[in-house]
Amino acid sequence: MTSPLVIKLGGRVLQSASNLERLLTTVQQLALLRPLVLVHGGGDQVEALLLQLGHTSLKVDGQRITPAAQMPIVAGVLAGDVNSQLVALAQQHQLNAVGLTLAAGQSITCDVDANRGAVGIPKPNDATLLQVLLDKNFLPILSSIGSSDSGARLNVNADLAAATVAQLLHADLILLTDVPGILDKNGDLIETILADQADALIADGTVRDGMLVKLNAAVQAARASRRSIAVAGWQDAKALTRLARGEAAGTRIRL
């Protein structure tokens, strides 16, 4: 069986039906090339509802602080609203989608990131459920909701979640963004970043905020899997097809 491809969705692609339609049309074509797993966030949707309900929302280094009291809202948006919408739309594209959390089948376990509240640090654990689904030609769609050893629900950064799922399945990984990849200070695409170069790019401010988390997740996945990891724009179907075939596109993070 061809090795799976894990694709992380987030950003503006989740904010409009037309964006999702465009991306899922591409995903439908990629599914003909190899088994796929989708992992998604939904931070903008979470933030909008938190503000609507009178909660404050804070991020540090691109990652959300999540008080335990906000977890019913976060889980409702990610594992409920966003996940069910993605499953329904994927099925319209003849993709046999199954909606899951990271905790399903104990696929991913989490330590608690005490500095960020009810936030999980994901760890690969048991690939059985996801492998069975892939073997039966299902498309797993995972929300970035995990759980602690004590059964508490945890908010997990979706880039880190996707990197961990890729480690679990020994899969290739594409982290989708709203831009063509990781850009330098002039706004030009950086085609290749060696893992050992990541700290310098972060230190000099070239990579910051949400892209900082993506780069860290990609480096983590590259070191664990010994594969190069791609950061690419969701709008470019041709680039995603090239990546699914193992060809160059976007930014490649490698050892």
In sequence order, the β-bridge partners of residue 172 are 5
Question: Considering 8, 42, 62, 233, which one is annotated as catalytic?
Answer: 8
Residue 26 CB partners (closer than 8 Å, separation 6+): 234, 237, 240, 241
Query: Which residues are paired to 240 by β-bridges?
Result: none
Q: Which of 10, 41, 43, 62 is catalytic?
A: 43
CB 220 within 8 A of CB 163: yes
- Single out the catalytic residue among 11, 42, 99, 233: 11
Is residue 43 annotated as a catalytic residue, yes or no? Answer: yes
Which contiguous run of DSSP H or E holds residue 135? helix 128-135
The beta strands (E) that lie in the chain are given as: 5-9, 36-40, 58-60, 63-65, 97-101, 108-112, 120-124, 139-143, 145-147, 153-155, 172-177, 192-194, 229-233, 251-254
Active-site residue among 41, 113, 159, 233? Answer: 159
Q: Please give the Cα distance from 5 to 119 (Å, whole number).
A: 26
Pick the catalytic residue from 41, 99, 214, 233: 214
Angle between helices 128-135 and 158-169 (to 10 degrees): 70
Give the alpha-carbon dihedral of 8, 161, 136, 234, to 10 degrees.
0
**For this structure, is 159 an active site residue?**
yes
C-alpha closest to that of 144 among 27, 9, 240, 16: 9
Q: Which residues are catalytic?
A: 8, 11, 43, 159, 214
